[in-house]
A and B are shown apart, each in its own frame.
Chain A
Amino acid sequence: MEREDNMERTVERDSGFEGSGRALRDRLTRLVAVGEVGVLLALIVLVAFFYMMEPAFLSERNIRAILRVVSFIGIIAIGQTILLVCGEFDLSVGAVAGLSAVCSAKLMTALALPVPLALLGGVMVGAGVGLVNGLVVVKLKIPAFIQTLGMLFIGQGLIQVVTNGYPVYPLPPIISDIGYASIIFGLGWSFVFFVIAALGADFVLRRTVLGRNMYATGGNPEVARLVGIDTNRYKIGAFMTVGALAAIAGMFVMADLASGTTSIGSGWELNVIAGVVVGGVSLFGGAGTMAGGLIGVLLLQVVTSGLVVVGVNANWQQIAVGVIMVMAVGLDILRRRFFIAGSGGAQPVAASTEPAAKPS
């Protein structure tokens, strides 16, 4: 609802500017056309709403709880946003997170490898699964939906194979030290990693040749190839990135639990995709920003947590998440149609996001 109001206001604002300074109008249009603004406003409105309903929503404890979850899921969302910008997506991230976690746990217990090596092993498992996903999608031209859905099942099966269904326990003490560390605002290493990775990925997408070429690859792979971009490498690279990031997120959860639990990552894939899509990252590729995707993830977490805090039955949380996702995408499509009006609807229009735009 809030986004809808926002939309209407922008419509009025835009038409109200006829005849006045073109530069000002341009700037406003561009501001509203940037996907993050809408979702950010929605986030603010939601936070205010839950705070008014129940002031405890903004208690230090609750904020910390929200950010803790976001720091895990958000790490994967960084990779998923990159992959979506390149025009593919990955449904296997939850299973990959779990598989990497239990693999590294096994490496440090059953094989008694040094902890850094075991953690590296976990990352390699994630990146390796990403490599397989990427190769199959790019070389065998099997749709990412099928390949990564298959990989979701394969990963879940492999978790059981590796662990026989039992949690890997106990882990070396350093792991729980990582998990229990409090670096900033009572949040641990996973949050620090999340923030640094998010800033880095945002920089890559907006400011580097690599990022620009990713947008081209996702926007129209044929055009990207024609201008000399090796789109296959970009896509495989993005699959590997999301795999590695899922592995890292899985291992942070493992450290948090001090145990290689088989349920790590279970169900995350949908939360991640729903979140970044709410933030305006297009499922069709080439459109969306890191900030948008991560704000989307945060927004969904705020809703989930807010409903708990105000005492709504847990079953309604899922319903709310579903409704918000569909609504957000619907509004996004409307917004794009509005800003691309008059260009003929047949073409894949996603011109509203401007990766080259400077942060204002």
Chain B
Amino acid sequence: MTDLSTAPPVIQTRAIVKSFSGVQALRGVDFAVHPGEIHALLGQNGAGKSTLVKILNGVHKAGSYSGEILVDGKPVTFASTSEARACGVGYVPQEIEVLEQLTVAENVFAGHTGLGRGPIINRRRMEQEARALFDELGLSIDPRMLVASLTSAQRHLVMIARALSFKPRVLMLDEPTASLSGVEVERLFSVLRRLKAQGKTMIFITHRLPEVLAICDRATVLRDGRVAAAIEREDFDEEQFIYAMSGQKLQRLYPHHDAPPAETRPLLQVKNLSIAGRFGVNRGVSDVSFDVRPGEILGLAGLLGSGRTEILHAIYGRVPYSGEIAVDGAPVAIRTAADARAAGIALLTEDRKRDGLLFNLPVGANITIGNLTKLSSHGMVREGREKNAVLAAMRALNVKARSPQASVAHLSGGNQQKLLFARVLMSAPRVLLLDEPTKGVDAATRAEIYRLIVDLADKGVALVVVASELEEVIGIADRCLVVADGRLVGEFQRGEGSEDKVLRTITAAQAEMQRAALANAGHAG
């Protein structure tokens, strides 16, 4: 380990204060990252994480905040992101921003000059340098490939390579694992460990505590625009982090729930469900059958692309399927979302921005959309009735918005998610499909959502939950089905499953399928 006491911090902030139209986002943040460490930046939504990051990479220009930034002990000011980059601050955004129709090498060196003579690009040299960069990262991505043909995890690695190509003093990774599956997270971590071994300094911004425990050396926790705690690796402790982030001791992460008796008549039955695969996205789903009883929380555990989301989408009429679906014993043909809703099925989608919120409508209309029949007469919306329903839903789910007329864009991620829950619940579903119900929400909201899921089950709703974090699916579900490459490959009752058991099941199943595929190929040959 480097001696932390002598070397100046690579990057440091002093008394940063930043406000947006009167609301203080940062109230004096002192933050220091030392050479060669992976430094976690933690905090709930709205704690000031992204504001701090935007100040450090020059999105919020010098002068729009007070306080100081020091790089290697020297004060600096950034008037733009390119100035921040020139001072050695590298940034990998959370959203994947790549030029799909260009090659990997072109993406890595987009924005660089001087890779050839004048304006003409020396393609071979660019590809060589890209390959060298990937070698450094221990990755085997061909620089000549089109980015369009890469998986999103690979695209993310390309963005990391792009940030590294500017030779940064410190690399900021903004929620790098948000859309990665378990295996991909491991691969990313091995890349980060490698970079650390080369002496690189990194800031790791995340919501996920296990990852902090796994890979970070020090952590700074922000709360309400202040540093709530700066914790050394030897003092790392999940409870302490949660306490620092939320300011209160959270009791148990998952509320208690008893599964309904096994002999209860199933509410949702899925038989021999098959879905065609989509090239480059997943391999489809074949012959999946399962039942969900009223009051039961069923988890679908699997990696990204395993088909777990497609199963939910088929049941909700978003993708065509073959097979049978029955609700309360009666077979239903589901071709559209409207069919599914008529059968008492509701879906909470994974991507709030793309498939959830209507940014052109205020909070209230966002909650009631699709549920207006009950709130109208003769086709006219009864405004009083609608307002009461909205206020009741906002109270019930603790949606914090100024008023039903407020814009949804202003809400925090957690409140947006609760708003979407309110919308979904307003249709009084008997079967509720939840795709990543806690994605991108803070720890406190997460706990609220778990509580809500359990309450709904207690009321007799049949729930199916999909989540990337295996630990979450295992924790919340009464029963967990393991999905791998579009098949059901295992089942765990509450208390039986664990992350590594599920992972082992998946790996074993994948190996088995691969053997079978090879054997088939052998037969054919």
Contacts and interface: CB of A to CB of B under 8 A. Distances in A.
B407 A210 contact: no
Given A223-B356, A341-B21, A351-B360, A209 B381 contact: yes
B176 interface: no
A229 B365 contact: no
Judged by DSSP, the binding face of A is loop
Contact of B360 (A26, A210, A343, A353): A353
Interface string A25-44: 01000100000000000000
Given A230-B338, A342-B410, A358-B383, A209 B354 contact: no
A356 B363 CA distance: 11
Interface in A221-267: 222-230
A212 B370 CA distance: 9
Q: Which of A15, A212, A228, A286 has the most CB of B within 10 A?
A: A228
B379 A210 contact: yes
Nearest to B371: A227
Given A223-B357, A230-B338, A209 B380 contact: yes
B361 A219 contact: yes
Interface in B9-38: 20-22
A347 B369 CA distance: 20
Contacts of B194: none
Given A226-B349, A342-B21, A30 B373 contact: no
B394 to A, nearest CB: 15
A85 to B, nearest CB: 9
A252 B361 CA distance: 36
Contacts of A344: 409
A15 B21 contact: yes
Contacts of A226: 316, 318, 337, 347, 349, 355, 370
Given A208-B379, A222-B355, A227-B423, A287 B364 contact: no
A288 to B, nearest CB: 9
B383 A216 contact: no
Contacts of A216: 358, 361, 369-370
A229 B353 contact: no
Q: Is the interface of B mostly helix, strand, loop or mixed?
A: mixed
Contacts of B347: 226
- Which of A15, A219, A223: most chain B CB closer than 10 A? A223
Contact of A355 (B20, B342, B353, B365): B365
A267 to B, nearest CB: 31
Contacts of B20: 341-342
Nearest to B376: A209
Interface in A314-341: 339-341
A12 to B, nearest CB: 13
A63 interface: no
Given A208-B379, A225-B337, A356 B355 contact: no
A22 B403 CA distance: 11
A21 to B, nearest CB: 13
B405 A227 contact: no
A224 B380 CA distance: 19
Nearest to A351: B407
A223 B358 contact: yes
Contacts of A353: 360
A101 interface: no
A229 B386 CA distance: 18
B403 A351 contact: no
B336 interface: yes
Interface in B297-320: 316, 318
Interface in B40-94: none
A287 B359 CA distance: 10
B439 to A, nearest CB: 16
B359 A18 contact: no
Contacts of B403: 26
Contact of A209 (B21, B349, B373, B407): B373
A227 B372 CA distance: 11
B466 interface: no
B369 A227 contact: yes
A220 interface: yes
Interface string B313-334: 0001010000000000000000
A59 B95 CA distance: 59
Interface in A255-304: 282, 285-287
Nearest to A357: B405
A212 B369 contact: yes
A340 B356 contact: no
A226 B349 CA distance: 9
A171 B22 CA distance: 68
Contacts of A230: 336, 338
A311 interface: no
A95 interface: no
Contacts of B354: 222
Contact of A348 (B337, B341, B359): B359
Contacts of B359: 219-220, 347-351
B408 interface: yes
A4 interface: no
A212 B358 contact: no
Q: By CB atoms of chain B within 10 A, which of A218, A353, A354 has the most? A: A354
B360 A350 contact: yes
Nearest to A30: B405
B360 A18 contact: no
Given A209-B372, A229-B370, A347-B409, A218 B337 contact: no
A348 B357 CA distance: 11
B337 A354 contact: no
Interface in A191-222: 207-210, 212-213, 215-216, 218-220, 222
A216 B358 CA distance: 7
A346 B362 CA distance: 18
Nearest to B382: A207
A352 B360 CA distance: 7
B402 interface: yes
A218 B361 CA distance: 11
Contacts of A354: 361-362, 405
Contact of A223 (B336, B355, B410): B355
A287 B360 contact: yes
Contacts of B336: 225, 228, 230
Contacts of B408: 351
B38 to A, nearest CB: 26
Contacts of B407: 339-340, 343, 351-352
Contact of A227 (B22, B337, B379): B337
Contacts of B318: 226
B349 A356 contact: no
A212 B338 contact: no
A48 to B, nearest CB: 32
Interface centre among A19, A209, A222 (most CB of B within 10 A): A209
Contacts of B365: 212, 215, 355-356
Interface of A: 15, 18-19, 22, 26, 30, 207-210, 212-213, 215-216, 218-220, 222-230, 282, 285-287, 339-344, 346-358
Given A226-B355, A228-B338, A348-B360, 14 more contacts: A208-B376, A212-B361, A223-B357, A225-B336, A226-B318, A226-B349, A227-B371, A228-B342, A286-B361, A342-B20, A342-B21, A347-B353, A351-B409, A357-B405
15 contacts: A209-B379, A212-B381, A216-B361, A222-B354, A225-B336, A225-B337, A226-B337, A228-B370, A282-B360, A286-B360, A350-B359, A351-B359, A351-B409, A355-B361, A356-B362
A-B pairs with the 3 shortest C-beta distances? Answer: A227-B370, A343-B409, A219-B360
